[in-house]
A and B are shown apart, each in its own frame.
Chain A
Amino acid sequence: MIKTPSDMKSYKERIRKALTDPFLRSALDKFNTQYRENRPRIYAGVDFEGIRDEIAAAKDDALPALMDLYESFKKHAEASGAKVHLVRDAEEANRTISEIARENGVKKIAKSKSMTAEEIFLNDHLIEAGYEVIETDLGEWIIQLRHEGPSHMVMPAIHLSRYQVGDLFGKVTGKKQDSENIDKLVKVARERLRPAFLTAGMGISGANFALADSGALGMVTNEGNMRLVTTLPSVHVALVGIEKLVPNLKSALRILKVLPRNATGQAITSYVTWIKGANESLSSFSHRKILHIVFLDNGRLAMAKDPIFSEALRCIRCGACANVCPIYSKVGEHRYGHVYIGAIGLILTLFYHGKESDRVIVQNCLNCQACKSVCPVDIDLPYLIKKTYRLVLDQENRKPVKNLLLSRILKNRKLFHFLLRRAYLAQKPFAAGDTVIRHLPHFFEKAHGFRSLPVIAKTPFRDRWKRIAPKAEASGKTVALFAGCAVDFIYPEQGESLFEILQKQNVGLEFPLDQTCCGLPAMMAAEEETSKELARQNIEAFADVKAEHILTLCASCASHLKHNYPKILGDSPEVKAFTDKIIDFSSYMINILKVIPEQFLPSGKKVAYHAPCHLCRGLGVHREPRELITVCGASYVPSKDEDVCCGFGGSYSVDFPEISSEILKKKLDNVEASGAEILVTDCPGCVLQLRGGMDKRGRGIEVKHLAELCAQSLKSSAT
């Protein structure tokens, strides 16, 4: 049975082990890259977003009516000879299924892949009850032989190399296997498992769809074992999560358009099988199949009624949220989930397996949005992960010190800013007169030493503002700056660059001094009340501002302000007036100010670009920053994986430095390989991470905010 650490220390140990496993690392890294690269080709000619929205809406319609769908399904399925059960929890499911086996005198059970069976640890239970259980899906068979759980929802043995499989099959067959010949290894499974299908008394499968208007099940598979499992033995038990109920064939076909594409990059799998009722079967006395369909609740019906978490029940188990996750691709397996793996696993684990198994893993998320961007049913996974973390904290009724501090300090802007100013003094001795700290004071763990850290600015932007604020109002456009903590207190020069640009462009700037932290760090720590309070304070701070736009230099702030504020505060006109104005730096420059190359002095410098997660995926801005690099006279050099996270994730990089540094390393390797002299990005958090890492490398590649690059080469306007 899978064991997921419930304390951070043993979890970290596991992570460290994974990070030193060369096969796992390269296999998952390669998978992540190839998956992302293949996607556009796989979705060519398919309106992914359109279908995604339709499926999400259809699922949301179906969820409140699950019990009606169930009744309809049951009626039709039973009219055609099946027996339909609804079981409350894992215990009842296991009991029901072994009861069916006992009633029918079964000894041997052939299983095809089912995540729902994994969820309830069905195999363990059946084996304990004295049955022989044989997994027949190749990957599942391999991990069964190794006594492991699946390391991916679609590819359960992705953590194993051909050599490990070859050795294993060598032991199983008593014959040495040629590990290089994967075709032959596959044939070993074909030959060894054939007798299992033919001699098993019962087959167990899952299902991808349960069609309410006909009582048929739909199954999406590739190997062909599910077809044998459902055909050859006289008894077939289908274990189905109750959320798999859909109204009709039409809804299922719509999901079928994205499920194989998202899961395995296929337009359709080798087999899609629709099974209804007690089909002809010469293996049973009656010449009719004995079909039991067991619907599992296990908390789903309650979840379906939850205004926030019901969204998680849209999941169609495509596994893509793990495929693209930068953390999964570093640590893999159960270090990123319990039974269910990947972003959705961090959420579902709490509901299906309890807080002990989720309390640590749920904290391991960068909020990079990669999972959300590929989810074919539009689940806001990063948001739900934070919500789940909050539930864990509530259930434990005990909060980490970090949370207590966050809520105490952040809610009180004056106190918070006072402390930030004090921090400048506190870190002064470590900076040795420099703008960065290269050698961390000894009370930091060694793992944190992968980047140098910036010092808190002596004079924050808000103080400089008082000096530079234009006295007269500008004649034309006006924009308000939402600085965010990082620009205000760490990189005020980025704010000054913006000011310089706007002055040269004759654009007025406003800076409401009551603005405070956007609240994202509080949300990341599941401090919901605090993040709500901060959202309220900021909306108030900007309420009287006349500017047409609220510009941020921080992509994370922007995406939080724009997309999370309505979730936190509700979608009132006041909130909308605020969120509608939010714009990022490059969109403002390209789309509003419409800057052109003639306004800049070309530098010709080779510039690479890092796309902040919250800009490219959060705000959907892709073209503008790259265009701006070229417009402002630099030479943009593309680098690999520009839109993959840099590993910062706010306090994530402090909580999980081992993983953060690995993600950063790959990013910087890619930038170096591009031959760039300068690396720009448009988020101060990314600047912190990237500059800190580059500084440690000492190869002279400068890291800048895009605003700084622009300010340097912008000519004064003629007027």
Chain B
Amino acid sequence: MTPSPMIQLMKEKAEAVQAVVFQIGDFKEAVTYTIDLTKRQNGRNIAAGGLSKDQEDALREACAQAHLTLLPFPLRPHANKIHTSLTLADWGIAETGTLVIDSTKEDIRIATMLAEIHVAVLPASRIKPDAEALEREIDGILKKDAPAYLAFITGASRTADIERVLAIGVHGPKELHILITG
């Protein structure tokens, strides 16, 4: 199957900022991917963020089999030791390879900010050409008179503060993996 031009662009742009991008079949593959990745890196645990009940159960079962800990909610007490986080992205922005994640829940924030490795699942149907194409959706979240924390995430955390040399993984995740489903 050749991916659509939009998926292709999303992949290209995300890879250009050192994200690891794969197209996969369904969420189950994402679970396998995350577990393998964590074990390969000698990680001990996984944190979930924004998953459905079924997805969480699937992850819990797989973690148990692989002798990994699925960190319980709330994540705050574990904030300092999360190895991998597996979260769902709400949208993708192809033009810049960006993930848009509604992080209003604190657990999602902690999972996406403090994990060493962040794996995000992005349904292909949620990829938009540019940020402008998401204006209505974002406004929908920001314009409710209620708190909101919405994140655009593009690649892993980075800095060029020492001699303008690019270094990846300052305060945020050191790796970002994007798994495009569907």
Contact = CB atoms under 8 A, between A and B. Distances in A.
Given A268-B152, A273-B151, A231 B113 contact: yes
Contacts of A142: 161-162
B35 to A, nearest CB: 25
Given A228-B171, A264-B160, A80 B152 contact: no
B150 interface: yes
Interface in B119-176: 131-132, 135, 138-139, 142-165, 167-173
Interface in A1-60: 27, 31
A185 interface: yes
A227 B79 CA distance: 14
B171 A279 contact: no
A190 interface: yes
Interface residues of B, number: 52
Contact of A222 (B74, B80, B105, B158): B158
B106 interface: yes
Contacts of A269: 154
A258 to B, nearest CB: 13
Given A211-B142, A224-B113, A232-B79, A275 B149 contact: yes
* Interface hub of A187, A231, A270, A281 (most chain B Cβ within 10 A): A270
Given A216-B142, A268-B154, A27 B163 contact: yes
A272 interface: yes
Interface in A243-294: 248-250, 253, 256, 264, 266-283, 288-289
B76 interface: yes
B38 interface: no
Contacts of B172: 223-224, 227-228, 270-271
A227 B147 CA distance: 16
Contacts of A250: 132, 135
B96 interface: yes
A619 B58 CA distance: 65
B170 A213 contact: no
B171 A225 contact: yes
B45 interface: no
* Interface hub of A158, A197, A274, A281 (most chain B Cβ within 10 A): A274
A183 B167 contact: yes
A79 B168 CA distance: 38
A282 B142 CA distance: 22
B90 interface: no
Contact of A155 (B80, B96, B160, B170): B160
Contact of A280 (B147, B155, B161): B147
A224 B171 contact: yes
B163 A270 contact: no
A278 B147 contact: yes
B170 A279 contact: no
Contact of A223 (B114, B158, B164): B158
A375 to B, nearest CB: 21
Nearest to A161: B163
Interface string A190-234: 100110011000000000000101101000001111011001100
A647 interface: no
B110 interface: yes
Interface string A405-448: 00000000000000000000000000000000000000000000
B158 A270 contact: yes
A274 B150 CA distance: 5
Contacts of B98: 268, 272
A80 B147 contact: yes
B143 A155 contact: no
B159 A267 contact: no
Contacts of A228: 113-114, 171-172
A341 B153 CA distance: 29
Interface residues of A, number: 68
Interface string B101-125: 0001110011001100000000000
A236 to B, nearest CB: 11
B155 A249 contact: no
A253 to B, nearest CB: 5
A214 B169 CA distance: 32
A289 to B, nearest CB: 8
Nearest to A195: B80
Contacts of B149: 231, 273-276, 279
B154 A156 contact: no
A162 interface: yes
A155 B162 CA distance: 9
Interface stretch (A131-139, A468-476, A515-523): A131-139
B168 to A, nearest CB: 8
B143 A186 contact: no
A565 B113 CA distance: 54
A283 B105 CA distance: 13
Contacts, number: 178
Contacts of A253: 131-132, 135
* Interface hub of B138, B160, B173 (most chain A Cβ within 10 A): B160
A160 B165 CA distance: 12
A189 interface: yes
A182 B162 CA distance: 7
B162 A80 contact: no
Given A224-B113, A268-B98, A279-B147, A193 B171 contact: yes
A171 to B, nearest CB: 16
A320 interface: no
A273 B108 CA distance: 14
A198 B80 contact: yes
B142 A249 contact: yes
Interface in B15-66: 17
Contact of A194 (B80, B168, B169): B80
B138 A223 contact: no
Interface string A139-170: 10010000000000001111011100100000
A162 B163 contact: yes
Nearest to B76: A282
A182 B161 CA distance: 10
Given A31-B164, A214-B139, A280-B106, A222 B157 contact: yes
Nearest to A291: B147
A277 B150 CA distance: 12
A76 interface: yes
B27 to A, nearest CB: 25
A80 B148 CA distance: 9
Contact of B161 (A138, A249, A267, A283): A138
B147 A268 contact: no
B105 A186 contact: no
A598 B138 CA distance: 63
A276 B158 contact: no
A602 interface: no
* Interface hub of A182, A183, A268 (most chain B Cβ within 10 A): A268
B11 interface: no
Interface of B: 13, 17, 74, 76, 79-80, 95-96, 98, 104-106, 109-110, 113-114, 131-132, 135, 138-139, 142-165, 167-173
Across the A-B interface, the 6 shortest Cβ-Cβ residue pairs: A224-B172, A277-B147, A139-B161, A224-B157, A272-B152, A224-B171
28 contacts: A27-B163, A79-B145, A80-B145, A142-B162, A162-B163, A182-B162, A183-B168, A189-B171, A194-B171, A214-B139, A214-B142, A222-B158, A228-B172, A256-B131, A268-B154, A270-B156, A270-B157, A271-B157, A272-B152, A273-B152, A274-B149, A274-B150, A275-B149, A276-B146, A277-B148, A279-B104, A281-B106, A289-B147
